[in-house]
Amino acid sequence: MEETAYAKINLALHVRERTPDGYHRIETLFAFAADGDRLSVESSDTLTLTVTGPFANQLGPSSGNLVIRAAEALRNRFDVTAGASLHLDKSLPVASGIGGGSADAAAALRLLARWWELPASEGDLLDIAAGLGADVPACVGSRSCRGEGRGDILVSQDGSGLAGMPLLLVNPGIKLSTAEVFAAWDGVDGGALPIASPLATALEGRNDLEQAACAIVPDVTDVLSSFDGAVLSRMSGSGATCFALFGDLDERDTCARSIAAAQPGWWQLVTALR
């Protein structure tokens, strides 16, 4: 069996305050690309993970990988004694603001629930996901939703107006620490995320971490300025990946070719919203 770990996009991300526990209260609009990492499973007596792909060497030991942590949590929740041989094709860059690790963990929950034929509801998976990271719950459903709190309090959205919209992701090839970017946030509450249709919310919204990320990695500014013809362009999450939404495929593809010619070292994913 196989499962896609869909790339996570923060169409908007408003940081409202720094809480006493050191975390930040945010309001965000999640959407997901149609593509991402690929996770597959085969029979095994033990629980193992192998990783290949262009970004495999950026991951640490498999024992600490979120995929293994998700698998172990699912197995403990349902008293599973069987093993699984998991293989991750890592095509999304690491520490890049598009939820690669969180998406991988969520894909592991979905995949292994099917593989082990568990009576697991989405609610069960969300409960497990909440203990794995703030972005993992949104990645379980991998559909448009509003996130509040740490991003883990989810409100479903009608994403039909976004589905199929041409999407281009670009990363300048530089990792950004989420903690470092949040620490550099200016502390100014710019106001609430609007409540409207997802596209209108995205267009009216902002990413409050862009300024901090651009100060740490100026290349983010260069990426954002390269999206010619986009309906909306913005940094996703804490960066350094930026996204652009387009009105049609030709505009997206023309922009992608232009960026590839000017910056052949930048990573790109030419895709669409789910």
Q: Which residues are catalytic?
A: 8, 135
Task: Region of 117 please: left (phi>0), alpha (psi -120 to 50) or beta.
Answer: left
Query: Inter-axis angle of helices 100-115 and 122-130, to 10 degrees?
Result: 140
Asked whether 36 and 4 are in contact (CB, 8 A), the reply is: yes
